[in-house]
Amino acid sequence: AAKMAALGGGGTRWRRAWLPALQLLRRGSKAVTRHWKAMHFQRQKLLAVTEYLPPRPAVPPRCLPRRSPERHEEDGQARVLRRQLEQALGDSRMVAVCHYCPMPDEDVAVLRHFLRKHDIHVKFVLNEVGLGSGHEIEGWGLNYSTAPTQTGVGSLQGRAVPSQRALGSQPIPSSPFPGACIDNTILSRQGVENFARLPSLEVSQGQTVAALSLLPSQTCSLLQQGPAHLTALLDEHIRQLQGSGAATEPPQG
Partner 1 sequence: PAGPGGVAVPRAGLKKLTLPPDYSGITIPEKPKLKFMDKVPAVPKVQREPRRLRDIRGPSQVATDFTQGQYGILALGGGYLHWGHFEMIRLTIGRSIDPKSMFAVWRVPAPYKSVTRKSLGHRMGGGKGPIDHYVTAVKSGRLVLEVGGHCEFGEVQPFLARVAQKLPFPAVPVSRESLQEMRQKEEEKRLDNQNPWTFERVVASNMLGMRKYLSPYDLQLKGRYWGKFFLKHRV
Is residue 71 a contact residue for partner 1 (CB under 8 A)? Answer: no
When asked if residue 75 is in the footprint of partner 1 (CB under 8 A), the reply is yes
| DSSP code at position 98 | E
Nearer to partner 1 among residue 118 and residue 121 (C-beta): 121
Which is nearest to 138 in space by CA: 155, 150, 116, 122? 155
Other Cβ atoms within 10 Å of 137 Cβ, number:
21
| Residue 51 is a binding residue for partner 1 (CB under 8 A) | yes
Piece in contact with partner 1 (CB under 8 A), picked from 17-25, 42-50, 165-173, 200-208: 42-50
What DSSP line would sit under 150-206, residue for residue? EEEEEEE-S-HHHHHHHHHH----SS---EEEETTEEEEHHHHHHHHHSPPHHHHHH
Span 216-235, contacts to partner 1 by CB under 8 A: none
State the sign of the Cα–Cα–Cα–Cα dihedral 211, 213, 219, 222: negative
| Binding to partner 1 in span 95-154, by CB under 8 A | 102, 105, 108, 121, 123-126, 128-129, 149-150
CA nearest 8: which of 17, 211, 122? 17
Q: Any contact of residue 68 with partner 1 (CB under 8 A)?
A: no
Where on the chain is the footprint of partner 1 (CB under 8 A)? 30-34, 36-37, 39-40, 42-43, 46-47, 49-56, 72, 75, 77-78, 80-81, 84, 88, 102, 105, 108, 121, 123-126, 128-129, 149-150
